Structure 1
Amino acid sequence: MSTQNYDYIIVGAGSAGCVLANRLSADPSNKVLLLETGGSDKSIFIKMPTALSIPMNTDKYAWQFHTEPEPYLDNRQMHCPRGKVLGGSSSINGMVYVRGHAKDFDEWQQHGAKGWDYQACLPYFKRAESFYLGGNSYRGDNGPLGVNNGNEMANPLYKAFIKAGQQAGYAQTDDYNAAQQEGFGPMHMTVKDGVRSSASREYLDPVKSRKNLTLITGALAEKVLLEGKKVVGVEFSVSGSKQQAFAAKDVILSAGPIGSPHILQLSGIGDKDILSEAGVEVKHHLPGVGQNLQDHLEFYFQYKCKQPITLNGKLGLVSKGLIGARWLLNRSGLGATNHFESCAFIRSKPGVEWPDIQYHFLPAAIRYDGKSAFDGHGFQVHVGHNKPKSRGAVTIKSADPQVAPKIQFNYLQHQDDIEGFRACVRLTREIIEQSAFDEYRDGEIQPGKDVQSDEEIDAFVRQAVESAYHPSCSCKMGEDEMAVVNSQTQVHGIEGLRVVDSSIFPTVPNGNLNAPTIMVAEKAADHILGKPVLSASTADVAMEKQWQSTQRSSEI
């Protein structure tokens, strides 16, 4: 068994791990090891934004996890893919760039994550980003991550969606990642120069040649090595050969919301009863490991389109070939966008303080596997209730690291989540029925006009919802008895061990998770290195003042 010595060992070269590898190795005196089970991210299907459905559904690039039968979704087993490639899920995701609402991060602090409120997090969002319209109090202009709007909403359906929202009485927002999330406006994506702007491309590629950074791919982390209550290294295997690496300072788990709690449990850190049942020797009883699991669900609202202007007319081999050729030649056109170019964030009912419903608009009626939903032209809007109260768990099943853990989200367990999706159906239908869509709308495909009552909506949702692929919160940050890490990202009761990825979110934000995961890693890097954190922002946040009595407002 070979052994190696480092200052820091990072497990997982995903959205968080690539950030950490860059920031920790910037000091040449720090010897850093980065371990990743997957391999190269140089595939054209990863680089080309429009090909987003391919890497997510390819075994080579993603762990193809599935949940246990979900009891509140008619016992459906839900697909839960996670990145298994350099860049992790930032190399297989939909590239949607959403930070979350300011109140989401204030909520983190209220849950015990001290120093992680919005004003403390905003400078790290800015540090990570290069926004295509330039920097300001909210946006960064010289960070690694490229953010733009794709093709500037060239298809008229994008703007029709925004106009319909205004006609329905909702506000417009020019930048939902700035002062005002609530409202309808253009959507942002992590694309730079027509290419996916993944954590691997932007954070890892520029520093791979550093002599103090070692990257090992094809490495499956099996457990952390403990001496009493101190972690001293990692045991991993490459092509079946076991190896050990030792860390003088910290081992940092950045294996994601499924991988990080599983590695902790494989190492004997977790709930003692769960570990014992799986045949794992208990090294440290920490009951919150794997608990508090959260995710976003969504479904598609689909309509036929009167005009032949949708992407359904671009799904043939000739059209795909032309799109691909243009992208290969100059990284432009329909190949250079994820096609989610307008969006909205609204509140589901009066008394909800900040948005809990998210929309992604798509000028096509299409499934996630890239196939047409029907013959003809159509459009759809993805909608989900994004502040769920249902909670699940990631639970080790075997001491064998090759055996995937049990994943159970308990989707729609809470009545508030069920009512949130009823609001999604009724509010969305009202928006699409506005006059802005009269020249385009040609009949509802899904859910269908016959889905009207609470019972009909509930039955439709149970069958139609899919994961939005935002699992998180399974190693939550805080100070209560179910917290796994403290506000410095250190595992409670264990020296030399941290977790830095979306698993440490106390609650799931209202939005996609790549942006906040990268932000968390940026901020955690300063904690790990003992640097002063960036000065807190004083930027204002726009809120609906009458939120207790109104569900919508045209002005905020």
Structure 2
Amino acid sequence: MEFDYVIVGAGSAGCALANRLSEDGRTSVALLEAGPRDLNPWIHVPVGYFRTMGSPGTDWCYRTQPDPGIAGRAIPWPRGRVLGGSSSINGLLYVRGQPQDYDGWAQAGCTGWSWADVLPLFRRSETWEGEDDTGLRGTNGPLSVQNSRLRREVVDRWIEAAGNAGYRRNPDYNGADQEGVGLFQLTMRGGRRCSSAAAYLRPARNRSNLTVLTGIQTERVLIEDGRAVGVRCRLKGAARDIRARREVVLSAGAIGSPQILMLSGIGDPCELGRHGIAVRAALKGVGRNLQDHLQARPVFRTSLPTINIETDNLFKQAMIAVQYLLTGRGPMTMAASLGTGFLKTAPHLDTPDIQFHIQPFSADSPAEGPHPFSAFTASVLQLRPESAGHLALRSARIEDHPEIHPNYLATETDRRTLVEGIRIARRIARTEPLKGVVLGEHAPGEDLHDEDYDGLLDWTRRTAVTIYHPTGTCRMGVNDMAVVDPRLRVRGVGNLRVADASIMPRIVSGNTNAPAIMIGEKAADLIREDAAAP
């Protein structure tokens, strides 16, 4: 059990990295995944996230600590525990973010991460089926990106109403400019989910130099003479050491990677000392800088049919299943949202600061199922929150999930931005051609007026939930709080890198799956460059 490279975590970044490092046919690569193979059929049906999120067979089922910013609530934080990681259970939404996100990283000292640097990696990773007048999209990558196969009138009306309310239409928010409203692009191929595992591992599964191990949980990194030499794992209850001749790369995500680092003795000495862990590298930034997108979910009743009504009995559900089996279309190809908008809450802003997820269904929670009336959800989030939380070890055992402290809505900017997003959602709902089919506001409720800032904020605190984008806990940078340098090398430990969404110095302006895949592509280039250096 010795390889050139050992990658921990077969998620969005890890699968991309494993594919690229093993391309030459000579470099031996081991990809370790704590979860099972992606055999569950609901993984591959786009709408299957309703079944896989919250299921211990595919989800780590993390839960936050009670957070003062959201009225003391503890909320679920789903993360994928299966080949493909969160790309196997997410909502299939493909968003690169804004060029300014990456230019900001570079300006903060992360050389090589500007928009000009990462754009070729986005292009290399994707095959985009839509039109591209800008030359910014990829045409021959492993990740299939498609327009939605599903349309609903209420979403089309929302987009038109947003235009009439003063927001422009944007047919490709991943093109030259993110701002505007339109339809989401999806990681889908032929009516099936295109996870990172489907995109990157399936084509590489017959390579003799790539070993993929599932059901194997990494407990810590093995460090000798200041260098990572492998990992200590647990497979079927037995300890197993897997050695790395060249490097160990953690791609276990924004919760898993910092936890493994801390259990390996890499982190804040005070935090490690609380659990009797010997310090191998004193890095106070491990587990800090935790950022996430918090979504408020206004719901509007409508006279138009939505998924709520289309699926309210077994016969309708059976017909939908038959449609999908015969044609690969219909509601079973539905992503987490159909429509989107990247908008500004104030005219002086340079770039959009809020994002909408328009869903032709509504529910108080996925577990409770859709409302018994026809409605749509205009979910809104702040793209670049100022608030940052942290992780803390619960124990020195990998089995004990770390404490998650999101620290939501900790700044006035964050609070005002999200409340203004709710007001914009209402403004669009009051604009034709949407206004004529809106029967009323289910949430926050018409008794809360736009001028009632405190009331809208209180509703947000009591009901807002994550939109599943944790990042930043192994931040890349050049200052004392950085965990990895711009080449993703862990500071103070040789032959060890981190490559996943945890390295983001600041969360990107949008959904995080596409950027995580890009990070995997970038890590492969950096590792190969360093290996070839004299």
Tell me the SS of whatever aligns to 2:415: helix
Give the alignment's TM-score, normalised by structure 1: 0.93
Alpha-carbon RMSD across the aligned residues, in angstroms, is 1.6
Q: Distance in 1 between matches of 2:333 and 2:479?
A: 45
Superposition map of 1:145-156 within 5 A: 145-151=143-149, 153=151, 155-156=152-153
Query: Residue deviations 1:363-394, cap 9 Å, x none?
Result: 22234516555322111111111211111111
Structure 2 counterpart of 1:477, which letter?
M
Q: Secondary structure at the match of 1:107?
A: helix
Which of residues 81, 88, 93 in structure 1 aligns to 2:90? 93
Which stretch shows the higher mean deviation, 292-301 or 345-354?
345-354
Report the equivalent of 2:263: 266
Q: After superposition, where does 1:3-18 map in structure 2 within 5 Å?
A: 4-18=1-15
Tell me the equivalent position of 1:463. Answer: 462
Structure 1 gap segments, 5+ residues each? 534-556
Residues 387 and 410 of structure 2 are in contact (CA less than 8 Å); yes or no, is this contact kept in structure 1?
Answer: yes
Deviates more, 1:88-97 or 1:340-349: 340-349
Whether 1:473 aligns to 2:472 is yes
- Cα 1:182–1:134 change in 2 (3 A) is closer
Q: The residue matched to 2:298 in structure 1 has which SS? A: strand
Change (3 A) 1:347 1:478: same
Residue 411 of structure 2, aligned match among 409, 414, 438: 414
Q: CA deviation at 1:52?
A: 1.7
Q: Specify the alignment match of 1:545 in structure 2.
A: none
> 1:242 aligned to 234, 239, 251, which one?
239
TM-score of the superposition, structure 2-length normalised? 0.96
Tell me, in whole angstroms, the C-alpha distance in 2 between the residues paired with 1:172 and 1:351: 20
Which residue of 2 is the match for residue 138 of structure 1? 136
Q: 2:376 corresponds to which residue?
A: 379
Deviation at residue 427 of structure 1 after TM alignment: 1.3
Which of 391, 396, 408 aligns to 1:394? It is 391
State how 1:111-130 maps to structure 2 within 5 Å.
Answer: 111-130=108-127
* Contact 1:526/1:532, CA 8 A, preserved across alignment: no
CA displacement at 1:6 relative to structure 2:
0.7
Change (3 A) 1:531 1:329: farther
Distance 2:60 2:336 in 1: 25
Q: Secondary structure at the match of 1:293?
A: coil
Q: In the alignment, which residue of structure 2 is the partner of 1:551?
A: none
CA distance in 2, matches of 1:348, 1:443: 24
Q: Contact 1:112 / 1:477 at 8 angstroms: preserved in 2? A: no
Partner in structure 1 of residue 484 of structure 2:
485
Structure 1 runs, 4 residues or longer, greater than 4 Å off = 370-373
Aligned: 1:293 with 2:290: yes
**Structure 1 contact 339–363 (Cα < 8 Å) conserved:** no
The verdict on how the C-alpha distance between 1:97 and 1:46 changes in structure 2, with shifts beyond 3 A counting, is same
Deviations 1:137-187 (A, max 9, x none): 11111111111122253x222221111111111121110000111111121
1:46-95 superposed Cα distances (whole Å, 9 cap, x missing partner): 11112222111111101011111102211100211111100000001111
Specify which of 11, 17, 20 is matched with residue 20 of structure 1.
17
Q: Quick check: 1:134–1:140 contact (8 Å CA) kept in 2? A: no
Matches within 5 A, 1:171-182: 171-182=168-179
Q: Is the 2:312–2:372 Cα contact (8 Å) retained in structure 1?
A: no
Residues of 1 paired with 2:85 and 2:291: CA distance?
A: 19
Equivalences, count: 529
Q: In structure 2, what is the Cα distance between the partners aligned to 1:270 and 1:123?
A: 33
Range 136-145 or range 336-345, more displaced: 336-345
Cα deviation, residue 360, structure 1: 1.1
The letter for the 2-side match of 1:23 is R
> Does residue 448 in structure 1 map to residue 463 in structure 2?
no
1:81 aligns with 2:78: yes
1:210 aligns with 2:207: yes
Contact 1:364 1:377 in 2 (8 A): yes
Contact 2:301/2:374, CA 8 A, preserved across alignment: yes
Q: Secondary structure at the match of 1:359?
A: strand
2:323 is the counterpart of 1:326? yes
Out of 127, 140, 155, the residue aligned to residue 158 of structure 1 is: 155
